[in-house]
Structure 1
Amino acid sequence: MSRPNLFLVGAPKCGTSALHGFLAQHPDVWMSEPKEPHFFCTDVDAPFAIRDPERYEGLFAGARARVVGESSATYLISKVAAHRIRERYPEARIIAIVRNPLEMLPSLHSQKRVNGTEPYATFEAAWAAEARRRRGLEPALGAFPFYEDAARYSEQLERFFTAFPREQLHVIVFDDFKRDLPGVWERVLAFLELAPFTPNFKVVNRNKRIRSRALHKVLQPDSALHRLPKPLSTVLYKGLDRLNSAHERRAPLPPELQQELRARFEPEVARLSALLGRDLSHWLA
C-alpha cells in the first residue's frame, strides 16, 4: 500500500488548496481526495475529520506516484500534528504557506461565515468578540476558534522545525505566491525533486458569501444531506454549495482596526522574520 510522503500543512487561506490542485496535475504526484482528511490534528475540531487509521491509509491505496500527499490546513495550528506525522512518516516532506495576518484573518472570517462557524457578519465584530470568547462568555467555533492563534505562525512552524530536519521543510510566503507563482512552483518542484511541469494555474477559493442561510443549513455536516450514500451526497453537496455561493471582493478593513492589528502582530512578524531569515516588516507598513 502507498504511504503519504508529502503534507501541505497550512496556514488557512494561504493558498494550500491552490497548491494542492497544481500538484495533483503533475504526472508524478498523487494528492488525496478528500483534500483535507485532518487525521493528525486530534486536538482540533475539524469538520469531516478522518480518525480511523485504516480509513486514512485507505485514502492512498490507489496511489501510483513518486510523491503522495494530502493537504490539511489544520496541521499547522495543531499542537500535536507535527509530532504525530513525524512518528508515522519520518521521511515525509512538509510544505507550509504563511500570509500577512492583515490579509489572512479577514479571509478566514469569510470562510468561517461560509462554514457556519462565525455568527458575526463583519470581521471587525468577530475580532471584538475574541476576548469574550477566550473567557468562555461566547462560543468559539470551528477548527480555528480564535483568530489571533491562527496567525501565530512562528510558534506553529517551530513545532515542525523541531519535529523534522530542516531539509524536509519548505516554507512559502504568500506574497511570492501572488507576485511570482511560476517561480514559487519551480522551487516547489525542486524541493520535491520532481521533473519540470506546467500546471493550469487557475484561481481557487476566491472570497465568497452565502446567498441563503436556509440552504446553508442543509449543507452543514450534521444535516440529513450527509447521511445520504456517497457519491450522491458529495455530488449534491458540491452542486448546492456552488448554487449558494456568490464571489465578491472583500471590503477593506477600517483604518483604526488595521492599526490595531499592526500593533498586535508586530512582535509576531519580527519572530517570523527571524525564523525564516527574511524581513517581513512590510506586512505592517
Structure 2
Amino acid sequence: MIMGDYPDCFIIGLPKAGTTALYNILTQSSEVFDCPVKEPNFFLPEGVTPAGVRNQHDYVGLYSEAKDNKLLSIDASISYAHFPDSLEKIVKVKPDAKFVIILRRPEKLVLSQYQQMRYGLFEECESFRLAWVDRITNGQPASGNYQFARNYPESGAVGSILEKVMAVVPSDSLKILIYEEIFSQESKDIIMLSDFLGIQPFEFRMKKVNTRKEPASKIVHRLIIKDSWIFKLFRLLVKKIPFISPGHVRRFYDKKMVKPLDASLSDYGELEIEKYFEAEKRKVEDLLSKKIPSWWC
C-alpha cells in the first residue's frame, strides 16, 4: 500500500458504543477537521460494508484540507476494531497514528447493534430473540453486508476484540474508553483524550444520536434512506429549490414515519445474555487492570 498523508487519528469502534457522539464532540474543537465522510472504511476488506472509499488517492484527498490548515484529521470507520488485518495496514502506513476505541457493556451493545441492523434493513429476523438464537445456533450470517455486526455473540465479545486490538496497536498509540464512563456528567475522559490527541481542551455540547428506532414502512424506508438511487436523485433535484433540502426530508421522515424501539434487556432474560458475556467483561477488566462497576449493576 502506498504511503501518504493518512489521517492522524482513527476511531476504530465499537459500533453502537457512542462513536458518533464522540466524533461530534471532537469536531467541535477548532483544532479538529470535520471530514465530509465520517466513515470512509478504506482499510476494510471488500464486501464488509455497502459504502466506502476504495481509491487511495480519493481517500487521502478527503483529508487534504486538514493538512493545509494544520488540523487534526480523524477517520471514524468504526468497524476497524473487528478486523486486525485492517489495523495492521494502518499501523504500517501511518506508524504515528493515534487509535481510539470505545467499549460498552456487551449485553446492551449487541441489542443496540441489532436495532441498528434492523433500521438499516440488514437484519431479517423480526426480533432480537430470534436473531440471537439463530446466531448462537448457526453462527455468522453467510451473506449480506455487515455480517460481523449481525453475529451478535461475536460482535459483543468485547474482551476478545480488545485483546486483538492491543496485540496490533502500540500501547502508547491506543486510548481505550468506556461508554458508561465517558458520557457521564463527571467524566474527565474528554479532557484526557484531548491531551492524548495533542489538542487543547475545549468546550463542547453533548448531543444524543442514533436513538433506537425502526421504520414504520420498509418499502418507504428503502426509498428514502441515503444510499438509495431515489434519494441520490432527489439530492440533485432539490439543489434548485432553495427552501427544501434532503435534510428537511430526512428529518420529516424520522419524525413521521419512524417508530421508536422500546425493547430492553429485561425483555430477554431467558436468553441469559448477561451470563453469556461474563467472561468477556472480566477479560476487559483484566486487560485494563481496573473494575467497571457499571457493567455489573
| 1:170 aligned onto 2:170 | no
Give distance in 2, aligned partners of 1:145 and 1:203: 23
Q: Select the residue among 28, 32, 36 that pairs with 1:33.
A: 36
Q: CA 1:219–1:148 in 2, change beyond 3 Å: closer, same or farther?
A: farther
| 1:142 aligned onto 2:151 | no
Partner of 1:269: 281
Give distance in 1, aligned partners of 2:129 and 2:95: 41
What per-residue deviation string (whole Å, max 9, x for no partner) do you get for residues 55-108 of structure 1? 111111211234111201111112312101101111000000000011111111
Once the two structures are overlaid, the 10-residue window that deviates more, 261-270 or 220-229, is: 220-229
Once the two structures are overlaid, the 10-residue window that deviates more, 190-199 or 232-241, is: 232-241
Give distance in 1, aligned partners of 2:286 and 2:177: 15
Partner of 1:248: 260
- Unaligned 5+ runs, structure 1: none
What per-residue deviation string (whole Å, max 9, x for no partner) do you get for residues 187-226 of structure 1? 1112112112111212122222213211111146774236
Give distance in 1, aligned partners of 2:101 and 2:108: 17
Q: Which amino acid aligns with 1:273?
A: E
| 1:106 aligned onto 2:111 | yes
Q: CA 1:165–1:129 in 2, change beyond 3 Å: closer, same or farther?
A: same
Q: Which amino acid aligns with 2:251?
A: R
Q: CA 1:60–1:282 in 2, change beyond 3 Å: closer, same or farther?
A: closer
Q: Select the residue among 23, 42, 45 that pairs with 1:42.
A: 45
Q: Which amino acid aligns with 2:12?
A: V
Contact conserved, 1:44 with 1:74, CA < 8 A, in 2? Answer: no
| 1:12 aligned onto 2:15 | yes
- Unaligned 5+ runs, structure 2: none
- What is the aligned length? 284
Q: CA 1:214–1:252 in 2, change beyond 3 Å: closer, same or farther?
A: same
Partner of 2:208: 203
Between the aligned residues of both structures, percent identity stands at 24
Q: Which amino acid aligns with 1:50?
A: V
Q: Which amino acid aligns with 1:55?
A: D
Partner of 2:188: 183
Contact conserved, 1:130 with 1:147, CA < 8 A, in 2? Answer: yes
Give distance in 2, aligned partners of 1:75 and 1:159: 11
Give distance in 2, aligned partners of 1:233 and 1:148: 43
Matches within 5 A, 1:126-141: 126-134=131-139, 141=145
* 1:171 partner SS: strand
| 1:157 aligned onto 2:162 | yes
Once the two structures are overlaid, the 10-residue window that deviates more, 53-62 or 173-182, is: 173-182
Q: Which amino acid aligns with 1:31?
A: D
Give distance in 1, aligned partners of 2:271 and 2:216: 32
Q: TM-score, normalised by structure 2?
A: 0.84
Contact conserved, 2:108 with 2:265, CA < 8 A, in 1? Answer: no
* 1:129 partner SS: helix
What per-residue deviation string (whole Å, max 9, x for no partner) do you get for residues 111-143 of structure 1? 10111111223211211111354286x756525
Could you tell me how far 1:273 is from its partner in structure 2? 1.0
Partner of 1:214: 219
Root-mean-square deviation over aligned CA pairs: 2.8
Matches within 5 A, 1:72-91: 72-91=77-96
Q: Which amino acid aligns with 2:274?
A: R
Q: Which amino acid aligns with 2:50?
A: P
